[in-house]
Structure 1
């Protein structure tokens, strides 16, 4: 856990605003910021009680008129949710590539991991459908089989059954995200093949992974509470200013127009706060994975640097992320000569655009053109972007 702190500090410092903004975008999808999750009221749509005691309450609202609306809303929510889940699955590998290389290239890392992201998305959808069937089918059966009242005893049994199902879903989903996805990236495997490769490591060091689960859940609980408290404290002065401005004539209308912008800024603030949290938790998982199976180690150089394998990242025997600056460090993941401690070209702007091999610059706003080492102009399917 302390090694993860050191690696996180080395990755995020010195603070580079554009890098943090790109990480905030990635973290918004893969780590979340505590927002989202639409819910709809479960009560009736009429709202009032009929004035005539002899009137059937069910006739006060024509539910047939609401069916198309509810179906439309459900479809929209489903499409948005699946789209968010697909982007989340895709950006998982963008984050992993960034943590491994020490550089954040959104378009470059995302474009070359579309296949892996799609397979992870399919696995997550299938996993969610399995959980939905295990819980939804019994619930529907209970509702349809009890015409008189609610069978609270059966509902209670279903709630007890939901505990192990939810726990199993959470464990499989987390292990897939933080251990199987790195295995997919490192060994160029599909989800099921990566699970098969990771399974002997999991069963051979199951105590390590049980400890990991317990610690990470405690960490998430504590960090989540601290994050929400920090966001609330930061939000108080803005809320006070907002309500004061609402009392001023004409200005209050202008303030109402900027509410969407304020919401976006609040989401961005939450994502920026989440950047070091998500980075730390992911590095912690990668360190556990590499300690239990060196063949699946995605960050060997970072591990060696923080554990005394070298004096620093740019010099010294055996350590660093590029010990000699002009070639690979043991595993072929070298950096260019004229670069800073993270392997960035000193003359390159740290914005969203990266120059390609010809020196031209992509002006699309993301600009992560895929450049390669001069020593190896060929590109393989298992290119790790180093």
Structure 2
């Protein structure tokens, strides 16, 4: 068995160094930071019936109930006339539904952009050229199909979760006094086990999808066909993938620790600088305006400082994300025969020179 995942670490490190530091390009880092960030997405009026028809008493025949003067049936006793506290206003329900629909559409839009960025990120690293808008237009179709696949997988997982949750429904519907402790513990244990199993399956499928994205690009095939190719190769060399997952897990832990330390130092450094700056501005403004206006004047500076901290963290995250993606691509390059990934650092094969007529005669 070959150790493709371990060998890919060195190649990923070299490619990351060449792509980001040889030479260093500030705007290239900015565009990659935006791509990595994007990887990671009218109230309806229900007050009227929609018609102008007015009903008279003749429309109901003799079925109208007798109402005492000043009394309205259905209202609590002691309430006369129309009390606004007991009236039903459907407008808030319409607003809530509209907000929910808006949030769902926003989530779909963000997921769609994230799906497109999966392809844009791969293409940018393989070619070592970040052409944001060109790649965005090129991969809108593939990103849409990836979104559909992810939505379908999410629906399938939701159905499986609901099926696994069915045995717990009788226990939930029982009175609290009738539920025994062993049954409750067993239900909680079953719930945790189901979540863990579904989470592991989800991680595996997401890993296959990540490996399928480059194949979909460079073998010019659909995302489902590329997923099938990855899964077929997994069945032939599943041990390599297990090692790959283990190596990725260790790399993720190491990078997470390094990132936390680096981010913490950066935030501490910038925080001290901004704290000193804000203190100087506070004393400067205090000599000119009232305390209330001082805080109002400081708000724009604080917002700018928060934006700078956020931008700095995105900027520092670029090498980590690039390295992990290069590791995936480098593993796929050797694990999947015929991946045909045209890396920017691939050696150029010179055409063989034929012998001249004089050399042949010699």
Q: TM-score, normalised by structure 2?
A: 0.68
CA contact (8 A) 2:216 2:222 kept: yes
Which 5+ residue runs of structure 2 have no aligned equivalent? 1-8, 42-87, 284-290, 353-362
SS at match of 1:295: coil
SS at match of 2:24: coil
Which 5+ residue runs of structure 1 have no aligned equivalent? 37-61, 305-318, 331-386
| Structure 2 residue corresponding to 1:196, chosen from 228, 245, 253 | 228
Larger Rg: 2
| Structure 2 residue corresponding to 1:170, chosen from 192, 196, 203 | 203
Structure 1 residues 71 and 102: CA distance shift in structure 2, 3 A = same
Per-residue deviation at 1:86?
Answer: 0.8
Cα RMSD (Å) of the superposition?
A: 3.2
Q: Which has the higher helix share?
A: 2
Structure 1 residues 258 and 78: CA distance shift in structure 2, 3 A = farther
| Structure 2 residue corresponding to 1:3, chosen from 3, 11, 20 | 11
Relative contact order (C-alpha < 8 Å, sep 6+): which is higher?
A: 2
In the alignment, what sits opposite 2:28? 19
Count of paired positions: 280
In the alignment, what sits opposite 1:292? 335
CA contact (8 A) 1:4 1:283 kept: yes
Q: TM-score, normalised by structure 1?
A: 0.64
CA contact (8 A) 1:180 1:194 kept: yes
Distance in 1, Cα, partners of 2:267 & 2:194:
40
Distance in 2, Cα, partners of 1:218 & 1:183:
25
Distance in 2, Cα, partners of 1:157 & 1:256:
50
CA contact (8 A) 1:182 1:298 kept: yes
Distance in 1, Cα, partners of 2:266 & 2:196:
36
Q: Does 1:156 pair with 2:189?
A: yes
Per-residue deviation at 1:174?
Answer: 2.2
Per-residue deviation at 1:92?
Answer: 1.1
CA contact (8 A) 1:23 1:104 kept: yes
